[in-house]
Structure formats: structure tokens, C-alpha cells
Amino acid sequence: MTAPMDVPESSQHAEPEAVVAGAKDAASRSLRQIAWQRFRKDKVGMTGGIVVILLILVAIFAPLLTAWFGYPPNQFNQSLVDPLTGGVLRDPNDPAQGLDPWGGISAQHLLGVEPVNGRDLFSRIVYGARTSLLVATVATVVCVVIGTVLGILAGYFGGWADVVISRTMDIFLAFPLLLFAIALVGVIPDGAFGLSGNNLRIGVLVFIIGFFNWPYIGRIVRGQTLTLKEREFVEASRSLGAGSTHIVFREILPNLVTPILVYSTLLIPTNILFEAALSFLGVGINPPMATWGGMLENALRFYTTSPHFVIVPGLAIFITVLAFNLFGDGLRDAFDPRSSD
């Protein structure tokens, strides 16, 4: 993606968006280029985007990162921990010095270690990012696929198709999702669908989150389709004898990519929180695999003696969700400046 560089600086500052968008080289710029132009100037959105990219890199390169800066995420380091309270010692060689309020943060353990087992928190946070992002992203893809297909069907064909799909969305939105998730995880036997252990757990999480959150995307797609199908270019297509397939795939879908992209970005943090909530309740991923929600749940036992153990995974969730939200908001504003008012 290249941004046009020949716009005079003064005009960029002095003139309103519409003028910039309609400037001399407007013909050579697509909506996406204009949006990128806007997004680049949105410092908050850019920061969010950079953090998101960093997080994705961290998740992808987790094994490398822990090999360089940490320890295997499930390795116990009990010599660092006080056996009496389970808290982290200030000096493992001299237990008399008491507990370290910073949870053993050092050059070896960048974020300290967890109480009781002494597992390296940096490694667990990094591996936890993998779990969180994997589940949230795949679940979001599931949402998007189901939501887009059903949303277009409802919006484009209308009539009874719209009635059935829209009422189905209402039902899904009213579903007590958390309770259902807890029940489902308890009921599905190990080995179902040819998956077992954590593969099954991840599959179930993706299914639950993806299958029950699609109406949010579905409603937006339906609404957009309703307006798009009345637009002149669609009418023109139709009058030239184009069939429904052509109109949906060639005329409407390309115009839906932008809102879908924006709302997917905003759906990911919701799904991250949902995964964390399920892990916190003990119905998510099985231990010892690291998850942020699971770490937080574990940490609550130690918040008086080892507050860092609550703070570290809490911050990880907070920063990730915030970054995705800022990034998503920035994207939305860039593509559609009026929406932020």
C-alpha cells in the first residue's frame, strides 16, 4: 500500500478531509488509500496497531523468545519459592530475607516467577498470548464466515429468508452463552470429533465463541447489504442482466470487506476476554498449558503475598484488549469518519 506523497504539507494541515479526498489526484486513489492516509495521522490507532502487530509476532515466535529470554513455560523452579507460604523469595540462598514484593523479577526472570511452582512468568505470558490470540482469531474467523453468509442471505433476498435469519440472530443474541459454555465443556467426552485433550478444548472454545457470536457481524452485514442492493451501481448491474451470484460476489461483497474488517478487529478483544473468562472459571484450556485467564484465577489465591502474580496476567489481558480496541476504532474512523460522532 503506497500513500501519495505529493500532497503539499500545507494543504494537509489547512484543508478539511473532504477537500483532501477530492484533491487533484483523487482519481488515482482508492478508498483504502484514503483510509490509510487518515489512519496514519491517528496516533492512538497507530499505537494500537503497532502493539497488535507486536503481540502477533510475540505469539508466533514464542518458542524463540522463551529460548532466548526465559525458561520452558512449564518448568518448575521451586528453589526460588518459600515452601512455607508459596511466595517468591527475595534471595533464594537466604530465605531469612523474606518474600520479594516484586515476585522475583530479575535478569533471569523478566516478569518474575509464579508462587508455589516457580514457573517463569515471562514464558507463560508469551505462551499465553499464543492461546489467547489463536482461540480469539480462529473464533472470529468462524463468526465472520457464518455472519457474512447469513447476513448477505437475509439482506439480499429479504422476505421469509430475512425473517427466519433475523429471528435466529435474536435467539442467539439472547442465549446465556457463559452458562452454555460451562455446561458444554462438561458434557463433551474426551475423544469427540477425533480430538482429545487440549486440541479438543481449543476446538470447543472456538466453536462456542464463534458459533454464538456471529449475529453481531451478521446484523451489520445484513444492514449494509440492504443499503447496497438499492445503490445505483447494483441497479445498473441488474439492468444489464447480471444474476444474483454476480451481484452478490462482484458488486456487494467487495463493498462489505471494509466493515467486516473493522468489526472483526473489534470482535477479537471481546473473544479474548471470553476465552480468559472461561479459563478463569476452569472450563477452558487444561493445565499446565498457559492461559492468561487461568493464570489470573490461580493468582487470586496469592494476592496478599504475591500481588505481581495478579498484576502481570491482568496487564497482559488489559493491554491486548485495549490495543485491539484502539486499533479497531482507528480503522473504523479511517474508513468512515462520520461514524465516530
Which range touches another protein (CB under 8 A), out of 46-54, 103-111, 258-266, 283-291?
283-291
Closest distance to another protein from the beta carbon of 84 (Å): 5
CA distance 261 to 325: 13
Least separation in angstroms between residue 277's CB and another protein is: 14
Cell numbers 478508498 label which residue?
31
DSSP-based three-state secondary structure for 54: helix
Residue 187 CB, shortest distance to another protein, in Å, is 10
Among 282, 311, 322, 336, binds another protein (CB under 8 A): 282
Element housing 13 (H / E)? helix 9-14
* Size of interface with another protein, in residues (CB under 8 A): 32
Distance CA 125, CA 318 (A): 13
Q: Which of 41, 250, 288, 319 binds another protein (CB under 8 A)?
A: 288
Q: How far is the CB of 321 from another protein (least distance, A)?
A: 24
Pick from 84, 107, 174, 179: which binds another protein (CB under 8 A)? 84
Which residues from 93-132 bind another protein, rule CB under 8 A? Answer: 98-99, 116-117
* Residue with Cβ nearer another protein (216 or 302): 302
Q: At closest approach, how far in Å is the CB of 213 from another protein? A: 24
Q: Does 287 bind another protein (CB under 8 A)?
A: yes
Q: Exactly one of 2, 6, 94, 189 binds another protein (CB under 8 A); which one?
A: 189
The one-letter amino acid at 63: P
101's CB contacts (< 8 A; 6+ apart) are: 307, 308
Comparing CB distances to another protein, the nearer of 252 and 276 is 276
Q: Is 277 in the site for another protein (CB under 8 A)?
A: no
CA atoms of 153 and 208, how far apart (whole Å): 23
CA distance 55 to 81: 30
Which residue of 175, 249, 303, 318 would you call a contact of another protein, by CB under 8 A?
Answer: 303
- For residues 279 and 292, the answer to whether their CB atoms sit within 8 Å is yes
Handedness of CA 239, 241, 245, 249 (dihedral sign): negative
Give the dihedral sign, CA 54/40/317/186: negative
Stretch that binds another protein, among 51-59, 80-88, 264-272, 322-330 (CB under 8 A): 80-88
Q: Which CB atom, from 145 or from 192, has the smaller least distance to another protein?
A: 192
224 binding another protein? (CB under 8 A): no
Rounded CA Rg of the chain: 25
User: How far apart, in whole angstroms, are the C-alpha atoms of residue 149 and residue 260?
Assistant: 12
Q: How far apart are CA 130 and CA 59, in angstroms?
A: 5
DSSP element (H, E) containing 21: helix 17-21
Polymer length of the chain:
341
> Which parts of 146-165 interact with another protein (CB under 8 A)?
none
Q: Which residues bind another protein (CB under 8 A)?
A: 74-76, 78, 81-87, 98-99, 116-117, 186, 189-190, 197, 282-283, 286-288, 297-298, 300-305
